[in-house]
Amino acid sequence: MSKTLVVVVPDADVLAATVASRLVAKIVDAQADRGTASVVLTGGRIAAKVLGTVKDLPAAAAIDWSHVDLWWGDERFLPAGDADRNETQARAALLDALPLDPARVHAMPADSGQGVAAAAAAYAAELGDPLPPFDVLMLGVGEDGHVASLFPDHPVLNETSTTTASVEDSPKPPPNRVTLTMPTIQTADEVWLIAAGPDKTVSVGAALGGDRSKPAAHATGVSRTYWLLDRAAAADVKK
Ligand SMILES: O=C1O[C@H](COP(=O)(O)O)[C@@H](O)[C@H](O)[C@H]1O
């Protein structure tokens, strides 16, 4: 049965260091077990900080980066290289410095005129059936409790028939996005919800308190669900 654990650390810098260390250990363990590791990246401010911290960790040298598959939980549907794409930010923070196998870096499609629905369908094809075995799937948590590009009260939150979905009216810019659906997120062995700062206090407190209107409340891993928080984000979490 899946277990939920809440880890609270003093501030965003310590949180980034904590998540980065855990991520390196998780990848090393997965590679020791089966030779490869599969990680789903998230976007947002704390995600970039985590990846930047991984770059400076001596223990990251224990990873065979050529045998790591990288996926994304969601993407802002913008042209390739746009500074607001989650992919662009991850590459700048870490990926460009790593000896990755390009065939294992599964970025979500960029906007090249194909349309966001076609981009979501293309990513579903890339994921395949069955889905890859995600060792860890990281999620930032929005001020409104969104995860990936699954927003409160948005119909895509209830999508269960596909592994990915397009969003064309995101309440947070940009309006067009591609996202994993909630059932896809829930296939990951571990889901890590990561949040820092006072603007996350209310949504984190509500989601962890069981408010199912917050998409974050639905994001669970098969073995473990970790909430990795700084003190400000955890201020409304009941003991
Ligand atoms: O737009 C997005 O926002 C969330 C949260 O971002 P943050 O900067 O408030 O931490 C992020 O997790 C998601 O991947 C991204 O597309």
Residue 239, pLDDT score: 76
Q: Domain residue spans in the chain?
A: 3-230
Give ipTM to 2 decimals. 0.97
The pLDDT confidence band at residue 2, using thresholds 50, 70 and 90, is: confident
Q: What is the pLDDT of residues 209-233, one digit of tens each?
A: 999 999 999 999 999 999 999 999 9
Half-sphere exposure in the Cβ direction for 60 (13 Å, CA): 23
Segment 154-161 long-range contacts (CB within 8 Å, at least 24 positions apart): 156/181, 157/182, 157/215, 157/218
pLDDT of residue 162 exceeding 80? yes
Instruction: Please identify, by atom number, the ligand 1 atom nearest to the C-alpha of residue 146.
Output: 4
Residue 166, pLDDT score: 98
Check if 46 has its Cβ closer than 6 Å to any atom of ligand 1: yes
Q: What is the mean pLDDT of residues 61-73?
A: 98
Q: What is the pTM of this model?
A: 0.98
Q: What is the pLDDT of residues 17-41, one digit of tens each?
A: 999 999 999 999 999 999 999 999 9
> From atom 15 of ligand 1, which residue's Cα is the shortest distance away?
43
- Residue 89 CA to ligand 1 centre (angstroms): 12
Instruction: Please identify, by atom number, the ligand 1 atom nearest to the C-alpha of residue 76.
Output: 16
Check if 163 has its Cβ closer than 6 Å to any atom of ligand 1: no
Helix spans in the chain (H): 12-34, 45-55, 86-93, 116-127, 182-185, 201-208
The pLDDT confidence band at residue 45, using thresholds 50, 70 and 90, is: very high
Is 3-230 a CATH 3.40.50.1360 domain?
yes
Instruction: Please identify, by atom number, the ligand 1 atom nearest to the C-alpha of residue 42.
Output: 14
pLDDT of residue 1 exceeding 80? no
Name the percent of the chain lying above pLDDT 90: 98
Check if 86 has its Cβ closer than 6 Å to any atom of ligand 1: yes
pLDDT of residue 188 exceeding 90? yes
